[in-house]
């Protein structure tokens, strides 16, 4: 299953321009606002499923001193590295599957915009929660964005599981306290509106 997922995303990033895919954001304003709202200055941040997102550029520019990006697609990460030039050397680039990854260190902030909703099987969702628990410091924050309950049923041709804060909380369990939830309308490069929800949790145990 992991190989099939990897093959899918490698194909996406080798056949499409990174600024033409439906999830592209020139400026990841909502994510940056939520990261700033944690109040942690110069936080260590990991972006899960970050691909070729512009978020990493902004985090480095904003002074975060330990930024990592994890994605299934090596090509997506290469796009981001090339775009960032010399600044890419300050970033930890991780090619891997979040459901199998074993973090070597812990982070202040876990950010995930539209990776979790591709995990439809309960065992994959549970594995995600286990990785999150291992990767996040106690007191740290997990910001998870997914399609909302009234959002699209598919993305990039793949089925997704739509969520609200309560459904994510059930997966994460009692060690994570919900501290913020909000809706967000993402406008795709093609002009379509996708209904998202972002939930922020704090690791309390």
pLDDT at res. 21: 81
List of the chain residues with pLDDT < 70:
1-2
pLDDT at res. 18: 81
Judge contact between 185 and 194, C-beta under 8 A: yes
pLDDT at res. 2: 57
| Segment 139-185, tens digit of pLDDT | 999 999 999 999 999 998 999 999 999 999 999 999 999 999 999 99
Residue with tokens 């990033």, as numbered in its chain: 13
Domain count, the chain: 1
Residue 195 maps to which CATH number? 3.40.50.150
Show the domain range for 75: 2-203
Structure tokens at 41: 């200055």
pLDDT at res. 1: 43
Q: What is the reported pTM?
A: 0.94
Angle at 118 between CA 152 and CA 116, to 5 degrees: 105
How, if at all, do strands 176-187 and 136-147 pair? unpaired
């Amino acid at each position: 299953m992991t190989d099939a997922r990897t093959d899918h995303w490698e194909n996406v990033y080798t056949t499409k321009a990174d600024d033409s895919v439906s999830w592209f954001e020139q400026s990841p304003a909502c994510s940056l606002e939520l990261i700033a709202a944690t109040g942690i200055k110069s936080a260590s941040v990991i972006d899960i499923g970050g691909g070729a997102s512009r978020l990493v550029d902004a985090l480095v520019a904003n002074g975060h001193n330990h930024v990592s990006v994890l994605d299934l697609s090596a090509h997506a990460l290469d796009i981001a590295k090339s775009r960032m030039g010399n600044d890419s050397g300050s970033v930890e680039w991780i090619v891997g599957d979040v459901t199998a990854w074993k973090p070597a260190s812990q982070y202040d902030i876990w950010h995930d915009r539209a990776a979790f909703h591709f995990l439809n099987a309960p065992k994959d969702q549970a594995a995600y929660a286990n990785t999150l628990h291992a990767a996040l410091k106690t007191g740290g924050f997990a910001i998870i964005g997914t399609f909302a309950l009234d959002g699209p049923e598919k993305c990039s041709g793949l089925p997704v599981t739509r969520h609200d804060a309560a459904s994510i909380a059930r997966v994460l369990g009692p060690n994570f306290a919900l501290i913020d939830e909000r809706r967000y309308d993402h406008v795709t490069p093609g002009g379509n509106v996708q209904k998202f929800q972002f939930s922020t949790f704090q690791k309390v145990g």
